[in-house]
Amino acid sequence: MDVPQAALSPIKWAGGKRQLLPQLLAAQPSSWNRYLEPFAGGAALFFALRAPGAYLSDTNPELINMYRVIRDDVESLIAHLRRHRNEAEYFYAVRALNPESLTPTERASRLIFLNKTCFNGLFRVNSKGKFNVPFGRYQNPVIVNPDRLRAAHRVLQTAEIVEADYSAVLDVAQPHDFVYVDPPYVPVSTTANFTSYTADGFNWSDQVQLANMVRQLAQRRCYVMASNADVPAIHNLYRGMWIQVVPVRRAINSDATKRSGATEVIITTYPVEGAHRS
């Protein structure tokens, strides 16, 4: 299923789902009421679905602020993004700014600028919650894409955008809602642990609690789809659900030749063609 470029997320996000959109769209329920995504991240599936009245949440305050600004004041954001320069000294000056001292528009502009010009487009913070990715030295990065931002603005108009832990979705989910759960993955190796989108990380205990929440939502007659790493521990954790193994290429590497192939799983609480019940 082709997805128009303008429908994609306005930012690149580690763990983003642009490459898996055809499989995710094919695995959605045949009908549903409201779309809820408690690990919004790049929200690629949301933008592809153009789901009206959606619920998007994340614990990352920079991300949530950006989506709110795109929804509420996109023209001011576009104007501010046009002021940025692709220069190392300027990049580090912007990176050093305290986001909390900025206006919402300045804060959103800072995030998008850093995302477009930092090494690998990887959003990562240290233990103090400070963005710490170096300058990417790209020749001509597209810092502002007005068409994509305006497309995102239109899709976000009716969205509820919340800074919250994933478990807050339990307060809003209703029968026949479609909940897509895309947490930080269980690492398949000690060098693949991209959980630093917030300062808190995400551990195995969180994975277990998340699986329990998925079961609670299923008992509530919600349709739940989850993504995670294709490892035995995840297959066991979601036993009794439908699991589809899908190939994927890791996007977070500046050298395209070093982006290795891998597999992930799409887990659903409802039957999907091509999936097996674990």
| Sequence ranges of the binding site for S-adenosyl-L-methionine | 13, 17, 58, 182
3-state secondary structure of 28: coil
3-state secondary structure of 120: helix
- C-alpha span between 151 and 156 (Å, rounded): 9
Task: Find tokens 């950006």 and name the residue.
Answer: 66
Residue 32, Cβ density class (10 Å: 0-12 exposed, 13-18 middle, ≥19 buried): middle
Bridge partners (DSSP) of residue 277 are 242
- C-alpha span between 120 and 250 (Å, rounded): 12
Pairing of strands 261-268, 223-229: antiparallel
* Binding site residue list: 13, 17, 58, 182
3-state secondary structure of 211: helix
Neighbour count for residue 180 (Cβ, 10 Å):
26
**CA 50 and chain centroid, separation:** 15
Could you give the dihedral angle defined by the CA atoms of residues 266, 195, 201 and 63, in that order, rounded to the nearest 10 degrees? -90
Instruction: For residue 152, report the phi and psi dihedrals to the nearest 5 degrees.
Output: -65, -40
Neighbour count for residue 114 (Cβ, 10 Å):
22
Tokens of 132: 């710490």
Instruction: For residue 160, report the phi and psi dihedrals to the nearest 5 degrees.
Output: -95, 120
